């Protein structure tokens, strides 16, 4: 079996599908460079990204599956998980090799894998909408650092743009080292090169760069969080299930 190695991008993945149909090698294994471990006597093919080929594959998929499934495909891709790359590849081939409507076959391993991964990515996207906490800086920018399990920033940009249309904000993915900046007009991708007063790894901004009222609101929110709890119903298991511990360091109400 041939192993196709691609660069981890969506364009690379789609190019791989194109190459597969051009070469018809039987069956292949698809891995990204970061996950690739060379094995003795293994036949490999390095995929060279090709925008035209990728676009043709995407257009081909678009003809056969609904916009809803295209979005599932894209969202599954954003999970960046090693297993899902192979499933995305297999799914694309399954769609091309079968008549229209094949994506409804939840008995097929790749269809169900995409469907499940889409659900996980959606959950993470939803969590970011819920768990992002802005802190207002002295110059009026609302800043929120996050570390999502999946690369969901592209999926939440329009949500935050519509919601916080009258305030400048930054959402920064500390894990993937890029962020979104809204300047009251449009959302742009940004990368922090060197920020002297903000340590790139730290979650909460030092108090000297914060707006005067920021600490009061954080305190009031903490108070509210405690007052609205009913101790007679305490259920920490359920609490942790809904608010997994890995998110606690970003949550204002979980400090102190």
Partner 1 sequence: MSDRIREKLNILADAAKYDVSCSSSGSNRKNDKKGLGDASASGICHTYTEDGRCVSLLKILLTNHCIFDCAFCVSRKSNDVKRAAFTVEEVVELTMSFYRRNYIEGLFLSSGIFKNADYTMERLVRIAKKLRLENNFNGYIHLKTIPGASQELLTEAGLYADRMSINLEMPTEAGLKLLAPDKSHDDVKKPLSFIKDSIIQFKDEKKIIRSTPKFVPAGQSTQMVIGATPETDMEIMYSANEYYKNYDLKRVYYSGYIPISYDTRMPMIGSQPPLLRENRLYQTDWLMRFYGFDVHEILNVKNPHLDVDIDPKLSWALRNMEQFPIDINTADYKMILRVPGIGVGSANKIVQARKFGKLRSDQLKKIGISYNRAKYFIRCADSVFQLNAPEAFKIKNLILSESSSKYLKVPQNQLTLF
Q: Which residues would be at the binding site for partner 1 (CB under 8 A)?
A: 102, 104-109, 112, 115-116, 126, 129-136, 142, 144, 159, 162-167, 184, 213, 216-217, 219-221, 223-225, 227-239, 241-243, 251-253
d(CA 169, CA 179): 10
Q: Which is nearer to partner 1, 62 or 167 (CB)?
A: 167
Q: Which is nearer to partner 1, 11 or 103 (CB)?
A: 103
d(CA 18, CA 1): 17
CB of 193 to partner 1, least distance (A): 26
Closest CA to 84 of 57, 55, 116, 59: 116
Beta strands per DSSP E along the chain: 2-6, 28-32, 43-46, 135-136, 141-146, 168-173, 178-182, 187-190
Q: Which is nearer to partner 1, 31 or 155 (CB)?
A: 155
CB of 239 to partner 1, least distance (A): 5
CB of 90 to partner 1, least distance (A): 15
For residue 142 the two structure tokens come to 């609302």
Q: Which is nearer to partner 1, 48 or 184 (CB)?
A: 184
Q: Which is nearer to partner 1, 26 or 107 (CB)?
A: 107
The burial class, CB within 10 Å (0-12 / 13-18 / 19+), for 145 is: buried
CB of 96 to partner 1, least distance (A): 16
d(CA 200, CA 222): 25
CB of 101 to partner 1, least distance (A): 8
73, 66 contact by CB (below 8 A): no
CB of 221 to partner 1, least distance (A): 5
Q: Which is nearer to partner 1, 7 or 147 (CB)?
A: 147
Q: Give Cα 170 distance to the centre of its chain.
A: 17
DSSP category for residue 137:
B
CB of 244 to partner 1, least distance (A): 11
Q: Which is nearer to partner 1, 23 or 123 (CB)?
A: 123
Phi and psi of 134, rounded to 5°?
-85, 145
Closest CA to 91 of 120, 57, 124, 136: 57
């Amino acid at each position: 079996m041939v192993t196709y190695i691609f660069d981890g991008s969506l364009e690379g993945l789609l190019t791989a599908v194109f190459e597969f149909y051009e070469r018809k090698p039987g069956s292949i294994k698809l891995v990204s460079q970061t996950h690739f471990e060379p094995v003795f006597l293994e036949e490999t093919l390095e995929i060279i990204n090709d925008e035209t080929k990728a676009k043709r594959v995407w257009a081909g998929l678009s003809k056969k599956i609904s916009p809803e499934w295209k979005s599932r495909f894209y969202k599954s891709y954003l999970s960046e998980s090693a297993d899902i790359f192979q499933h995305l590849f297999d799914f694309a081939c399954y769609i091309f090799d079968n008549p229209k409507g094949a994506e409804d076959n939840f008995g097929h391993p790749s269809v169900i894998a995409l469907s499940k991964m889409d659900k996980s990515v959606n959950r993470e996207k939803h969590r970011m909408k819920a768990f992002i906490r802005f802190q207002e800086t002295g110059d009026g920018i609302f800043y929120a650092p996050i570390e999502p399990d999946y690369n969901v920033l592209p999926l939440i940009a329009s949500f935050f743009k519509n919601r916080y249309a009258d305030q400048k904000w930054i959402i920064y993915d500390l894990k993937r080292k890029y962020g979104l900046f809204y300047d009251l007009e449009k959302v742009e991708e940004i990368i922090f090169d060197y920020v002297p007063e903000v340590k790139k790894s730290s979650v909460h901004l030092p108090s000297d760069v914060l707006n005067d009222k920021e600490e009061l609101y954080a305190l009031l929110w903490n108070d509210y969080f405690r007052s609205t709890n009913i101790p007679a119903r305490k259920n920490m298991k359920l609490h942790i299930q809904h608010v997994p511990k890995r998110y606690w360091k970003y949550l204002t109400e979980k400090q102190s």
